[in-house]
Amino acid sequence: MPTTIRSFAKINLGLAIGPARADGFHLLTTLYQTIGAYDLVTIQARPAAGTSITLTSNDERVPLDDRNTAFKSVKLALDAKKIAAEVHIYIDKRLPVQGGLGAGSANAVAALIGLERELSAHGIAPFSGPERLRIAAAVGSDVPLFLIGGAVLGVGRGEEVYPMPDLPVTPCVIALPEIGVSTPQAFREWDARYFPPFPQTTREGWGTRAGAGLTEGAGSDRLEELSRALAAALCEPHSSGVFQEDLAAKTGSPANLVAGANPLHALVRTGIENDFEEVVFPKNPLFGEIKRVLAGPEDPEAAALYVSLSGSGSALFGLYGTPDGARAAVARLDGMGVRSVMTETMPRERYWRSLIVE
């Protein structure tokens, strides 16, 4: 029996880019959040005398060879297990290819999970959690997050992941402009802006944002700033009240857990941003326009809680207080001829519960 897995996408709630490492990858800090929009990945696998991996898809833009992330994760998994198998993967593509939604990366995890389930029917033991994370990281920087799901802190080159407390289910609209963005190119442009090759005129301002001040090892300050914002915001439902006498009285200090408090509001207040916007937006005025349209009117009932580019784009997303707010954003995007998908954020429990198509 083949196994079919929902391969959910992600958005980034803040993304700070740091300096490039010796291997060319950039240090970064981001909060990934899985969402309800998905591709379907179907796997059929059985032990065989020699390994053969075949891949088909309904979308001709999906590579069908070892450039495909799902192909790579299956190959790495079979190598790690030192077994040969006949594997067929079918990817029913519903999400955009290279949209900043991690769709290809999620496909890799779906294929890995599907493979393990298929092989377990033949008595082959699944991987340990850490081994699975190692294989995912070998496939790509934003692959391991899909082995955690929900709200996930990503550091290192994005592959070092930590489960964060879940945010409440929040209506989400993904805008899909028909513009391609190359992630390596976006990183190169970031470097050209903030880390121009030595020699530089002066060391002041080197590796920093204009006017942000200085120094050696600069660039990492962006990462630290976002880490502090994330930690403080995600803790706020518990901590708020301790620092304010009046709020303490209202919430019953010192056990002042604010019932129903949404850390997303604290995240937005703290000012989470996606650094990629700085290099991606100037290239095409449509991005700025979509961001404004997603944000919506001033009316706090209808306005988005938060709007941002996802990853390096080209997808942008808006988060809304109500499904009606999200529906209105879809209508506004329709009006300007931009395709969109309405979905919602997907907490960890729901992510794992919905992964397998029974």
**Residues catalogued as catalytic:** 10, 142
| String of DSSP letters for 35-73 | EEEEEEEEEEEEE-SS-EEEEEES-TTS--STTSHHHHH
**Minimum gap (Å) between residue 185 Cβ and ligand C5P:** 9
Which is nearer to ligand C5P, 162 or 352 (by Cβ)? 162
Q: Is 158 in the site for ligand C5P (CB under 6 A)?
A: yes
Please list every residue from 115 through 154 that binds ligand C5P, using CB under 6 A: 140-142
Give how many residues touch ligand C5P by CB under 6 A.
11
Instruction: Choose which of 51, 183, 240, 262 interacts with ligand C5P (CB under 6 A).
Output: 183
**Residue 350 phi, psi dihedral angles, 5° rounding:** -70, -35
What letters, b where the CB count within 10 A reaches 16 and e where it falls short, cover 168-205? eebbbbbbbbeeebeeeebbebbbeebbeeeeeeeeeb
Q: What is the helix (H) or strand (E) element at residue 340, kind and residue range?
A: strand 340-344
Binding range to ligand C5P, per CB under 6 A, among 160-168, 179-187, 293-301, 315-323: 179-187
**Minimum gap (Å) between residue 141 Cβ and ligand C5P:** 3
- Dmax over Cα atoms in the chain, in whole Å? 72
Per-residue contact flags (x/-) with ligand C5P for residues 6 to 35, judged by CB under 6 A? -------------------xx-x-------
Other residues' Cβ atoms within 10 Å of the Cβ of residue 208? 17
Which is nearer to ligand C5P, 187 or 306 (by Cβ)? 187
Residue 124, classed as helix, strand or coil, is coil
Residue for token pair 């594997």: 87
Of 134, 160, 4, 118, which is closest to residue 73 (Cα–Cα)? 134
**Residue 92 phi, psi dihedral angles, 5° rounding:** -90, 100
**Minimum gap (Å) between residue 17 Cβ and ligand C5P:** 8
**Minimum gap (Å) between residue 305 Cβ and ligand C5P:** 27
Per-residue contact flags (x/-) with ligand C5P for residues 185 to 204, judged by CB under 6 A? --x-----------------
Cα angle 188-190-193, degrees, rounded to a multiple of 5: 110
**Minimum gap (Å) between residue 140 Cβ and ligand C5P:** 4
Residue 3, classed as helix, strand or coil, is strand
Sign of CA dihedral 135, 137, 143, 148: positive
Which is nearer to ligand C5P, 265 or 283 (by Cβ)? 283
Binding range to ligand C5P, per CB under 6 A, among 53-61, 119-127, 182-190, 224-232: 182-190
Of 90, 12, 70, 78, which is closest to residue 48 (Cα–Cα)? 78
**Minimum gap (Å) between residue 142 Cβ and ligand C5P:** 6
**Minimum gap (Å) between residue 19 Cβ and ligand C5P:** 10
Residue 90, classed as helix, strand or coil, is strand
**Residue 221 phi, psi dihedral angles, 5° rounding:** -60, -35
Whether the Cβ atoms of residue 22 and residue 62 lie closer than 8 Å to each other? no
Which is nearer to ligand C5P, 23 or 246 (by Cβ)? 23
Q: Is 157 in the site for ligand C5P (CB under 6 A)?
A: yes
Which parts of this chain interact with ligand C5P (CB under 6 A)? 25-26, 28, 140-142, 157-158, 183-184, 187
